[in-house]
């Protein structure tokens, strides 16, 4: 009974824009939902901005040590990967808890992930490549570790650009397809980190991230298979007709 | 037989701390109170904490530069940014996690093809040698670098004393294995103990230095106390730290990083801007504390004139 009620309120809150029959108790639930989302969003902003603030402060106050660029590169890269994984955990979170409001957190999380990827790339371009395009291209072409990292970044660019409601509406089904790119970006990102860590013989962190990513991707496999089967069934049905 | 000729990087005799001063200082430090020692050394003194805290370059080093006119890195940079995996894989770990390590007393076991093998007390190793300040570039394989005033003596002096036989083709070094004092030796990050090696002629080269100090003060634990190796024309990881064993062998020893990842790291590991690491170019380096990786890496780390003859006829792309 309690379970049923719970799922009912969640569903209502999610579909309220569709103009389903609202009565007063559900209306107050919507207020609570909005409140929850706002609180979560504030939490995301604070959490996502804290590594960046820590780095900027450290850069000026000198607690990043004798090689600050190493720390800057490492932390921005790590934060990108963690945020990508958190973004990918929204769908499982939604399904497991039944809290559909979680979907509203996906965009800010994804955009923060892109923000850190952009900073990470720029640190590399400015401090490691010293604005030299030739060196940069050479690195991307010759070193697979850079190639995969750079590819992950490139994949994220259109996702960030089309993250607005307008683009979502314009692209329709294609939007969903395009944004599956995050699976590739996250995978390439983890491989990039793994290869670097391999050079330093300490692969514990990339392995941990890889494990989390695998779980998040595995969680989606039954859904993909089901959808595929439904599609096959539908096409077969149309063939018979 | 090494014929010493004067090279640009050689230290003129006026720059070398005379042994009587050095030995006197060691005794002083051992016997005298802190105040006395500090007084005797004009404030540059012993306790690493003093220099670490003041972050100042001790006066007698203040105007010293490398033979290429490069500024010295600060004591703080040198002692807080270290690769010493026995204490952790982050550069800050060694300075944070090496407090428990006890570098005294210290014994070095000398083994293999030598006429005088045995366990040598560190003090006995140091007693007859001439200690010198040696300003060398340290080029890490990770493409950052520093300029460091080490304090030590040529490895060749020790080698001559123990009289290697004709079968001694390589020298194999081992770091101490003390998991209770070196926390990361409890992990499998690298195979322990750490091993490095040199070809006999590399080991006998006058630039190859056994180091006991930095900035004229005793080597801090995080830098490889009490005895480490510095081979300035090779990547930093060849400079094995906290040495307890020196073995004279016939076969080329397998060094730890080659063991861990032979695709990326080799035995020779000479600094070479033309041979890239699979993950990054070695043509440029970040000369700390600079933010930019814009410093051009020199062949053999700038010591080509002194050492290139060691590798005449060798394909350096192959012999990484």
CA distance B230 to B236: 8
Q: What are the chain A neighbours of B81 within 8 Å (beta carbons)?
A: 65-67
Q: Do A65 and B280 touch (CB under 8 A)?
A: no
CA distance A188 to A213: 11
CA distance B39 to B41: 5
Q: What is the predicted pLDDT for the residue at A160?
A: 97
Q: What is the predicted pLDDT for the residue at A1?
A: 37
Facing A130 at nearest CB: one of B89, B278, B292: B292
Query: Closest-CA residue in chain B for A126?
Result: B292
Q: Which burial class, exposed, middle or buried, applies to B149 when counting CB atoms under 10 A from its CB (0-12, 13-18, 19+)?
A: buried
Q: What is the predicted ipTM?
A: 0.81
Q: Do A145 and B278 touch (CB under 8 A)?
A: yes
Within a domain: B165: yes
Confidence of residue B154 (pLDDT cuts 50, 70, 90): very high
Whether the per-residue pLDDT at B42 is higher than 90: the answer is no
B297 DSSP assignment:
P
Nearest to B238 by CA among B149, B320, B117: B320
Q: What are phi and psi of B88, to 5 degrees?
A: 135, 160
Within a domain: B213: yes
* Extended strands (E) in B251-296: 284-287, 295-296
Report the pLDDT averaged over residues B100-109.
Answer: 97
Which residues, in sequence order, are bridge partners of residue B243? B175
Whether the per-residue pLDDT at B130 is higher than 80: the answer is yes
Query: Closest-CA residue in chain A for B76?
Result: A66
CA distance B309 to A60: 46
What pTM value is reported for the model? 0.82
Nearest to B26 by CA among B154, B211, B153, B212: B212
The neighbour count for residue B195, using CB atoms within 10 Å, is 21
Q: What is the predicted pLDDT for the residue at A124?
A: 97
One DSSP character per residue, A61-114 reads: HTTT-S-HHHHHHHHHHHHHHHHHHHHHTHHHHHHHH--GGGGGGHHHHHHHHH
Q: What is the predicted pLDDT for the residue at A9?
A: 40
Within a domain: B208: yes
Higher pLDDT, B77 or A31: B77
Q: Do A127 and B264 touch (CB under 8 A)?
A: no
Q: pLDDT tens per residue, chain A (241 residues)?
A: 344 444 434 443 344 444 444 455 566 677 777 888 899 999 999 999 999 999 999 999 988 999 999 999 999 999 999 999 999 999 999 999 998 889 999 999 999 999 999 999 999 999 999 999 999 999 999 999 999 999 999 999 999 999 999 999 999 999 999 999 999 999 999 999 999 999 999 999 999 999 999 999 999 999 999 988 998 888 877 665 5
B5-9, B20-24, B273-277: least confident range: B20-24
Q: Do B89 and A200 touch (CB under 8 A)?
A: yes
Q: Cα dist. A82→A86, A91, B85, B157 in Å?
A: 6, 16, 26, 53
The answer for B 246-285 residues in CB contact with A (under 8 A) is: 257, 260-261, 264, 276-281
Query: Closest-CA residue in chain A for B286?
Result: A128
- The gap between the terminal CA atoms of chain B, to the nearest Å, is 27
Q: Do A202 and B189 touch (CB under 8 A)?
A: yes
Q: Is B24 on the interface with A (CB under 8 A)?
A: no
* Number of domains, chain B: 1
Within a domain: B18: no
Q: What is the CATH number of the domain that holds B162?
A: 3.90.420.10
Write out the two tokens for A162: 């089309």
Would you mind telling me the total number of residues written for chain A in this entry?
Answer: 241
Q: What are the chain B neighbours of A129 within 8 Å (beta carbons)?
A: 293
Number of H helices, E strands in chain B: 10, 12
Q: Is omega for the bond preceding B112 within 30 degrees of 0, making it cis? A: no
Within a domain: B25: no
CA distance A172 to chain B (A): 40
Q: Do A130 and B92 touch (CB under 8 A)?
A: no
Judge whether A65 and B81 are in contact, CB under 8 Å: yes
Counted across chains A and B, CB pairs separated by less than 8 A come out at 64
Q: What are the chain A neighbours of B257 within 8 Å (beta carbons)?
A: 201
One DSSP character per residue, B78-122 reads: HHHS---GGG-SSTTHHHHH-TT----S-EEEEEESBSS-EEEEH
Higher pLDDT, B53 or B300: B300
Within a domain: B285: yes
Write out the H or E segment, with its range, that includes residue A59. Answer: helix A24-61
Q: Is B71 on the interface with A (CB under 8 A)?
A: no
Within a domain: B12: no
Facing A65 at nearest CB: one of B91, B286, B292: B91
CA distance B32 to B54: 22
Whether the per-residue pLDDT at B203 is higher than 70: the answer is yes
Whether the per-residue pLDDT at B180 is higher than 90: the answer is yes
CA distance A179 to chain B (A): 30
Domain residues for the domain of B117 are: 63-311
A169: Cβ contacts below 8 Å, ≥ 6 apart: none
What does the mean pLDDT of chain B come to?
A: 87
Judge whether B134 and B306 are in contact, CB under 8 Å: no
Q: Cα dist. B282→A128, B50, B179 in Å?
A: 12, 36, 34
Write out the two tokens for B267: 């035995």
Write out the two tokens for A130: 């010293």
Q: Is B80 on the interface with A (CB under 8 A)?
A: yes
Q: What are the chain A neighbours of B281 within 8 Å (beta carbons)?
A: 135, 138-139
Whether the per-residue pLDDT at B15 is higher than 70: the answer is no
Write out the H or E segment, with its range, that includes residue B169. Answer: none
Q: What is the predicted pLDDT for the residue at B30?
A: 38
Within a domain: B163: yes
Q: What is the predicted pLDDT for the residue at B160?
A: 97
CA distance B315 to B301: 18
Q: What are the chain B neighbours of A143 within 8 Å (beta carbons)?
A: 276, 278-280
Q: Do A199 and B279 touch (CB under 8 A)?
A: yes
CA distance B210 to chain A (A): 25
Nearest to A65 by CA among B46, B47, B222: B222
Q: What is the predicted pLDDT for the residue at B320?
A: 85
Q: What is the predicted pLDDT for the residue at B60?
A: 83
Query: Closest-CA residue in chain A for B256?
Result: A201
Q: What are the chain A neighbours of B85 within 8 Å (beta carbons)?
A: 201
CA distance A67 to chain B (A): 6
Q: What is the predicted pLDDT for the residue at B12?
A: 53
Facing A66 at nearest CB: one of B80, B189, B257: B80
Q: What are the chain A neighbours of B280 within 8 Å (beta carbons)?
A: 139, 143
Does residue B318 sit in helix, strand or coil? coil
Q: What are the chain B neighbours of A196 within 8 Å (beta carbons)?
A: 279
**Which of B87, B287, B291 has the highest number of chain A CBs within 10 A, making it the mutation to test binding with A?**
B291
């Amino acid at each position: 009974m309690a379970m049923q009620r719970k799922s009912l309120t969640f569903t209502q809150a999610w579909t309220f824009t569709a103009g389903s029959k609202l009565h007063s108790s559900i209306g107050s639930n919507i207020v609570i939902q909005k409140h929850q989302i706002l609180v979560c969003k504030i939490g995301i902003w604070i959490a996502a901005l804290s590594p960046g603030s820590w780095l900027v402060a450290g850069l000026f106050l000198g607690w990043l040590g004798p090689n600050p660029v190493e720390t800057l590169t490492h932390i921005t890269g790590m934060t990108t990967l963690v945020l990508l994984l958190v973004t990918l955990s929204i769908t499982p979170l939604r399904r497991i808890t039944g809290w559909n409001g979680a979907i509203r957190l996906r965009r800010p999380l994804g955009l923060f992930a892109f923000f850190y990827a952009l900073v990470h790339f720029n640190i590399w371009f400015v401090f490691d490549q010293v604005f030299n395009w030739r060196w940069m291209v050479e690195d991307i072409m010759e070193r697979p570790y850079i190639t995969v990292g750079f590819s992950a970044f490139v994949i994220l660019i259109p996702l960030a650009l089309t993250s607005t409601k307008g683009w979502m509406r314009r692209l329709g089904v294609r939007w969903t397809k395009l944004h599956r790119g995050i699976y590739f970006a996250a995978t390439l990102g983890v491989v990039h980190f793994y290869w670097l860590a391999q050079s330093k013989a300490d692969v514990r962190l990339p392995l941990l991230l890889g494990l989390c990513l695998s779980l998040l991707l595995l969680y989606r496999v039954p859904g993909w298979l089901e959808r595929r089967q439904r599609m096959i069934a539908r096409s077969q049905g149309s063939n018979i007709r | 037989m090494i014929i010493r000729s004067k090279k640009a990087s050689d230290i003129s005799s006026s720059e070398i701390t005379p042994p009587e001063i050095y030995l006197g200082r060691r005794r002083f430090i051992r016997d005298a109170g802190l105040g006395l020692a500090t007084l005797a050394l004009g404030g540059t003194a012993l306790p690493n904490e003093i220099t670490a805290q003041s972050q100042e370059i001790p006066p007698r080093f203040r105007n010293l530069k490398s033979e290429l006119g490069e500024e010295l890195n600060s004591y703080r940079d040198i002692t807080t940014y270290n690769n010493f995996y026995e204490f952790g894989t982050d550069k800050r770990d060694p300075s944070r996690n090496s407090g428990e390590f006890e570098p005294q007393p210290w014994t070095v076991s000398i083994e293999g093809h030598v006429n005088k093998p045995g366990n040598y007390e560190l003090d006995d190793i140091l007693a007859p040698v001439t200690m010198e300040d040696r300003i060398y570039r340290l080029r890490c394989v990770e493409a950052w670098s520093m300029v460091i005033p080490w304090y030590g003596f040529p490895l060749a002096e020790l080698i001559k004393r123990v009289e290697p036989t004709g079968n001694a083709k390589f020298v194999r070094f081992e770091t101490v294995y003390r998991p209770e004092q070196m926390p990361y030796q409890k992990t499998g990050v690298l195979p322990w103990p750490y091993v490095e090696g040199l070809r006999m002629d590399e080991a006998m080269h006058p630039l190859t230095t056994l180091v006991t100090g930095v900035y004229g003060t005793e080597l801090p634990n995080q830098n490889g106390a009490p005895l480490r190796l510095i081979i300035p024309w090779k990547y930093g990881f060849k400079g094995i730290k906290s040495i307890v064993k020196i073995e004279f062998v016939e076969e080329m020893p397998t060094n730890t990083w080659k063991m861990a990842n032979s695709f990326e790291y080799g035995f020779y590991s000479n600094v070479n801007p033309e041979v890239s690491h699979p993950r990054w170019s070695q043509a440029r380096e970040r000369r700390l504390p600079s933010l930019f990786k814009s410093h051009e890496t020199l062949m053999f780390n700038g010591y080509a004139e002194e050492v290139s003859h060691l590798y005449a006829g060798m394909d350096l792309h192959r012999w990484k």
